[in-house]
Structure 1
Amino acid sequence: MASKRNFSSAVFGHKLTEQFMQNCDQPNCVISPVSVFLCMSMLKRGANGVTEEEIDQVLGTAIGTQTEAIDLMKVFGQYSRTQFILSIANGLILQEGFEPLFRFVADLQTDFNASVKNVDFGSIEGVKKLNDWVSHATNRKINQIIDSPIPDTVMALINAVYMKGLWSKPFFELLTKKESFNTASNSAVETDIMIRTDYYEYIRNEEAMFSVAFLPYNCSSFYNFDQNQVTDWEMGILLPDENGNHLNFIKYLHHDALKKLRQKSMLRKLEVKFPKFKFESSIDLIPVLKRLGIKTSFTGLADYSKISRDGQLIVDTFLQKCRIEVDEEGTIATAVTMCAAAVLGSFVEPPVIKFHVKSPFLFFIYHPILNIVLFCGYVTNPAV
């Protein structure tokens, strides 16, 4: 039963988030670990031998089983309400003339509800068709995943996540005003700060010197039979004490630690001051996944013989774009993850990008019963 288990995506998601945040040099960042998990799970269906074993090990899934991603798809399928919208779309985009194995295509269509489209990756029209798919799947919030033809590509796997949630206790726009926000560099910026005094789940950790508030969205569509109550998705805000380095607190986003924090939280009356923010992140996932233990998937040793036997495939592109908007009404967050494969011989190893992260607070969109982090990020300068 979904409410009594921890999805493998929760373990993988924390490792991925930790690697990304510790190596990001942007003032604000956001990642959707669930989107990466689903895209990797589709890729796993085509992997064989050592390549499949490595993907299983990094995802935390049982070798030979295919249930984890299917479970996630079923859970997300129940959220399509007007107050809280959560949609998942998967796509298999094929180069014209490239014919993968029937079993691979059928598995993605059956278990991931993946749409199949043929394009010419080497043409401007092919790029447009790919980006049109992305735009439609994200409700036009992300309109582009690639900006030029990728002629050596024969296949792309895409996952898109779109979420729109209204606060169950919205902020009043008339109370929003410019206030000072201290950035990670100890400089002050003026930005729009929302204000509301109300009751929220809250926990204070005096020893570790941080506080967490949980701001619920108006969805009430998941019934927790264990506690006989309805549970909402919510945004958690982990706020270190003044001068605290946010990187030291990423460990509290681990699924076990996060679950304990939420269970120990208590309803308290809070005066919440929270900045409005809106930004995007673009992530090259290959260096991050390599650090997690994916070794052969991005080299000539990769075995994707369950996709095609006509030439050896190699994954040369693994990207994610995320966008998040937080205002008085609620949150709109969306992500697109794309994994593209080429025929061996046309592959050029992408350069490893080094990042360095700094931020005053973390945020995560989380379900306390399912124990799933849908989006996670930080903000150091909401005025950007």
Structure 2
Amino acid sequence: MQFDLLLRGGRVIDPASGLDALCDVAIADGKIAAIEAGIPADRAARVVDATGSMVTPGLIDLHSHVYWGGTSLGVDADRLAAKSGTTTFVDAGSAGAGNFLGFRRHVMERSKARILAYVNISFAGIFGFSKNVMVGECSDLRLCEPREVVGCVAEHRDVVVGVKVRAGKHASGASGIAPVDLAIEAADKVCLPLMAHIDEPPPGRSEVLPRLRKGDILTHCYRPFPNAPVFASGAVRPDMHLARERGVIFDIGHGMGSFDFEVARAMLKEGLAPDVISSDVHLFSIDGPAFDMLVCMSKMMALGMPLIDVLRASTERPAHAIARPDLGRLTIGGSADIAVLGERAGPASFYDSTGAELVAERELMSHGIVVGGLWWPNEAKDEVRAYAPGGRQTHADIARRHFGRCNC
């Protein structure tokens, strides 16, 4: 059999199957045709030398904002894909029922990278998010209409993976817990999970968490004070343990203001590693502190999370969270969505949403991705990121300049 593409000599790591070995991956007609050692190079039309690299399932960013051009917070998924190792972006509620068709026609269907989405309980989606305008989409309950969400899902179920709600002082204003209850009503009706964002109270974490069901996603699970999941003593709050026990999925959702190293350390110490690692990349986080999936994954490795667990939380587990078992794994006959990753020696200084520094001995980087069987090299792989203050953007300065503190 002749192949279209051969990824040769890499360390193939697939957490879903337990595979971790030096071998080759052959691709034909957009599908994985063989995973074995010693496949002759002359059997492939194109050969990519993956020696010294990791060949993994394409990364899945469970929380991103990629309604680029249609919302002010959106970023271009295709500009981010190859350099971040990400083949699937899951948009976290940028669009609501009122503008979902535009998102699909003008962004999803034109993107080389795969885009799936949570539909926002707010009819208008996240519509007021910029330097000078910050209006929470759930602050007016007239926009939170479950019947519109149900209709949207019926029309776009092939690309909709759940319902999104943003609750808190910034996202829902005086609406309190009501948007969460309405979103759960909609999610239950369409038999899909809910992704819940919590920023500053009200509502408090203690109001939102008990409402979340098995398979629902708590994003920003390592967020800083207020609404942090840990006490001042560093002990994890009991409601977080109860949520994990009943099957609520913990997602990092780093973003601009939603990731705290000290909270992460406390959670990891008590065995509450994240189920999913995601970037929450958007207008104010793409140039720091989140940047992309690989930066977020590198931070978790620096905090002590093993490489295999980091890869699992970026491939197999997000695929399970969105009920897409065809993604996040390397399977003969399966879609050829693949990342070719490397490691760059440190030290590298990373920063969280509070401005705290974490020095890492290594960081992940991308050589390129395979999407639909086609090799897509990372043309910016030699780019040196400016993580430290004084680089491309300083996240603390952005937060102060725009609205005191970004909780997104």
Question: Structure 1 length normalisation: TM-score?
Answer: 0.29
Name the structure where strand makes up a greater proportion of residues. 1
Question: Structure 2 length normalisation: TM-score?
Answer: 0.28
